Amino acid sequence: MKNKTNYEIIDNFISDSDFETLEDYIMPYGHSTRPLTLHQLGNNVPWFFSLGPSVEETERAKKAENEITKYEKLEPYADKLFQHLFLLKSYQSNYIQALVPLTNALDPLGFCRIVANLTLPQKENKRGLFHVDGDKELNPSSESMTTSIFYMNTTDGPTILEDGTEIECRANRLVTYSNETLHAAVLCTDAPYRVVINLNYFK
């Protein structure tokens, strides 16, 4: 098993008011305790269907797959999700301003990629492939980046790191680790969806 991964967890990463505003824009039904206004509906972030991450299964990933067996791996083509790409190098979504409370709180030297992922529930917890974020051909310096995952809702679908560490999926939680760390998402069973925002950046 790989040595313990260095990571940091910060709960209540942004203020309650900023988090509720972010919920109104990001979550499909907005903040759970109040209805969306027409203004918010007009600015709600759109989601786009994706077949899931296209990642190369490296020897490191295969080793993690073999050693971490608590969760069954999703069947091929079952790792479907909805995404919204906020930023990728020079591309910026028209909805990038919705993330200002989050990006200001991180305050990095620069972002390389920000994407929101929405996965649907399963009858049992299953995980996706172990991978690192980013494509070396697209960004040769991806290994020197930092990755943060910001959780938009609380579910029973954790993030698993390659040493077996499980990061619980809790609303307004941020977990940060080196971008070269292998990780995998576990799909939830107890909520209509699991929503996270992945941020890759240089400190």
166-189 pLDDT tens trace: 999 999 999 999 988 889 999 999
How buried is 165 (Cβ within 10 angstroms: 0-12 exposed, 13-18 middle, 19+ buried)? Answer: middle
Which residues lie closer than 8 Å to 156 by C-beta, 6 or more apart?
Answer: 125, 169, 188, 189, 190, 191
> Which DSSP helix (H) or strand (E) runs through 86?
strand 81-88
- Amino acid identity of 48? F
Of 89, 101, 105, 199, nearest to 147 by C-alpha is 199
46 within a domain of the structure (yes/no): no
19-53 pLDDT tens trace: 999 998 898 876 555 554 544 444 688 999 887 65
What is the total count of domains within the chain? 1
147 within a domain of the structure (yes/no): yes
CATH number of the domain to which 113 belongs: 2.60.120.620
- Per-residue pLDDT tens, the chain, 203 aa: give them: 344 679 999 999 999 999 999 998 898 876 555 554 544 444 688 999 887 655 555 677 777 777 777 888 877 666 678 999 999 988 999 999 999 999 999 989 999 999 999 998 989 999 888 888 865 544 555 667 899 999 999 999 999 998 899 999 999 999 999 988 889 999 999 999 999 999 999 98
38 within a domain of the structure (yes/no): no
143 within a domain of the structure (yes/no): yes
Residue-level pLDDT at 138 = 47
1 within a domain of the structure (yes/no): no
59 within a domain of the structure (yes/no): yes
- Distance in angstroms (rounded) separating the CA atoms of residues 153 and 32: 10
- Distance in angstroms (rounded) separating the CA atoms of residues 96 and 144: 24
40 within a domain of the structure (yes/no): no
Q: Which two tokens stand for residue 53?
A: 């991450």
Q: Which domain holds residue 147?
A: 7-29+53-202
45 within a domain of the structure (yes/no): no
- Distance in angstroms (rounded) separating the CA atoms of residues 174 and 63: 27
- Distance in angstroms (rounded) separating the CA atoms of residues 145 and 178: 7
